[in-house]
């Protein structure tokens, strides 16, 4: 498998001001020297305690924020220092799906409109009728209906809104999805449906995912490999199905043991 995403020594430093003008801002590394390689078609999970830098790493890779040091490569090209204009094709190829899709949907526009517009802007379709026809097919592919085209975001459930987010990514022919806790706010049965949809789409369209999550059972079920973050660094990388048995780093063991101590039988997903 070829490499699709690679980071080299990727870091993000924030300056935190105390509110007192005479005190020097405190600088800390939210992401600290991360080397990560994701192969085409692979699902890499990203776990770690709250505040360990998972979302920041996702945003750096998606080039939504500028790294302080290091590089991001996508499909073999160094995209670290590209201008906003030069990044536009990469923003199409890499899409982020957040826990709360509603926040990225315009409440005043129909979902059909919100999927068609980027398709036309990014040149995926040349004509509105062509784009609309593709959107009908994509809505069905993600488990929604043609009739949903003319509905507004508030008319959908949380699970349906995540399907809309996935539809938007498919509409612009994204290849790499950063899934930032996409199912954490959903009921277990809806969560399983969305994860299975994502697995089917990966198979059919050879998509690649970076999946940020807290639920180790979901990670074990959904991912091929898992990267563990602690204080901004990736401290361990291992196959997802060996997470419980082979984890050695203390921060991974802490995450794994906290799950196992609850109930080893119940916590496993599949
Ligand atoms: N814009 C920002 N300015 C200053 N600090 C920030 C900013 N964004 C994130 N941070 C800090 O960087 C650290 C890492 O945050 P991040 O959201 O990446 O962690 P996370 O592992 O995704 O956490 P969670 O699991 O709770 O979502 C945290 O201490 C956070 O407060």
Q: What is the ipTM of this complex?
A: 0.97
In this structure, which residue's CA is closest to atom 3 in ligand 1? Answer: 14
> Is residue 183 a contact partner of residue 195, using CB atoms and an 8 Å limit?
yes
Q: Which two tokens stand for residue 46?
A: 């990203």
Residue 263's pLDDT is: 54
Residues with CB under 6 A from ligand 1: 14, 30, 48, 50-56
Question: For a substitution probing ligand 1, which of 12, 32, 52 has the most ligand atoms within 8 Å of its CB?
Answer: 52
Between the CA of 31 and the centroid of ligand 1 the distance, in Å, is 9
> Interior CA angle at 221 toward 55 and 264, to 5°?
100
Between the CA of 58 and the centroid of ligand 1 the distance, in Å, is 11
Q: Quote the pTM value.
A: 0.92
Between the CA of 56 and the centroid of ligand 1 the distance, in Å, is 6
Model confidence pLDDT, tens digit, residues 150-175: 999 999 999 999 999 999 999 999 99
Residue 102's pLDDT is: 72
Between the CA of 55 and the centroid of ligand 1 the distance, in Å, is 7
The 3-class SS string of 147-194 reads: HHHHCCHHHCCHHHHHHHHHHHHHHCCCCEEEEECCCCCCCHHHHHHH
In this structure, which residue's CA is closest to atom 24 in ligand 1? Answer: 50
Phi then psi for residue 25, to 5 deg, are -60, 145
The closest-lying atom of ligand 1 relative to the alpha carbon of residue 181 is 27
Question: For a substitution probing ligand 1, which of 12, 28, 54 has the most ligand atoms within 8 Å of its CB?
Answer: 54
Between the CA of 144 and the centroid of ligand 1 the distance, in Å, is 33
Residue 269's pLDDT is: 55
Residue 77, CB-side half-sphere exposure with 13 Å CA sphere: 9
Q: How many CB atoms lie within 10 A of CB 89?
A: 14
Superfamily of domain 3-104+173-260: P-loop containing nucleotide triphosphate hydrolases (3.40.50.300)
In this structure, which residue's CA is closest to atom 1 in ligand 1? Answer: 14
- C-alpha 243/C-alpha 252 separation (Å) is 9
Q: How many CB atoms lie within 10 A of CB 190?
A: 17
Between the CA of 253 and the centroid of ligand 1 the distance, in Å, is 22
What stretches in the chain show pLDDT beneath 70?
Answer: 1, 262-270
Residue 266's pLDDT is: 44
Residue 262's pLDDT is: 64
- C-alpha 211/C-alpha 217 separation (Å) is 13
Phi then psi for residue 125, to 5 deg, are -130, 145
Q: How many CB atoms lie within 10 A of CB 65?
A: 14
The full set of domain ranges for the chain reads 3-104+173-260
């Amino acid at each position: 498998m070829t490499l699709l995403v690679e980071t080299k020594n990727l870091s993000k430093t924030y300056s935190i001001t105390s509110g007192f003008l005479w005190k020097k801002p405190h600088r800390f590394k939210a992401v600290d020297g991360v080397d990560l390689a994701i192969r085409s078609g692979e699902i890499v999970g990203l776990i770690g305690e709250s505040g360990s830098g998972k979302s920041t790493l996702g945003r750096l890779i998606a080039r939504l924020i500028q790294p302080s040091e290091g590089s991001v490569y996508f499909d073999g090209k160094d995209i670290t220092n590209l201008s906003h204009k030069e990044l536009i094709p990469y923003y199409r190829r890499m899409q982020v799906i957040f826990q709360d899709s509603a926040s990225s949907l315009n409440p005043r526009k129909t979902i059909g409109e919100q999927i068609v517009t980027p398709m036309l802007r990014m040149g995926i379709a040349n004509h509105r009728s062509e784009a609309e026809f593709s959107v009908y097919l994509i809505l069905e592919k993600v488990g929604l209906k043609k009739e949903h085209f003319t509905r507004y975001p508030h008319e959908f459930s949380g699970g349906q809104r995540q399907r809309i987010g996935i539809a938007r990514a498919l509409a612009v022919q994204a290849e790499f999805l950063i899934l930032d806790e996409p199912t954490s706010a959903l009921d277990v049965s809806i969560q399983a449906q969305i994860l299975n949809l994502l697995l089917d789409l990966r198979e059919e369209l050879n998509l690649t995912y970076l999946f940020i999550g807290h639920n180790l059972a979901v990670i074990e079920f959904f991912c091929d490999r898992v990267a563990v973050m602690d204080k901004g660094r990736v401290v361990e990388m291992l196959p997802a199905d060996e997470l419980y048995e082979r984890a050695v780093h203390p921060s991974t063991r802490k995450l794994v043991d906290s799950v196992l101590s609850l109930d080893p039988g119940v916590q496993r997903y599949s």
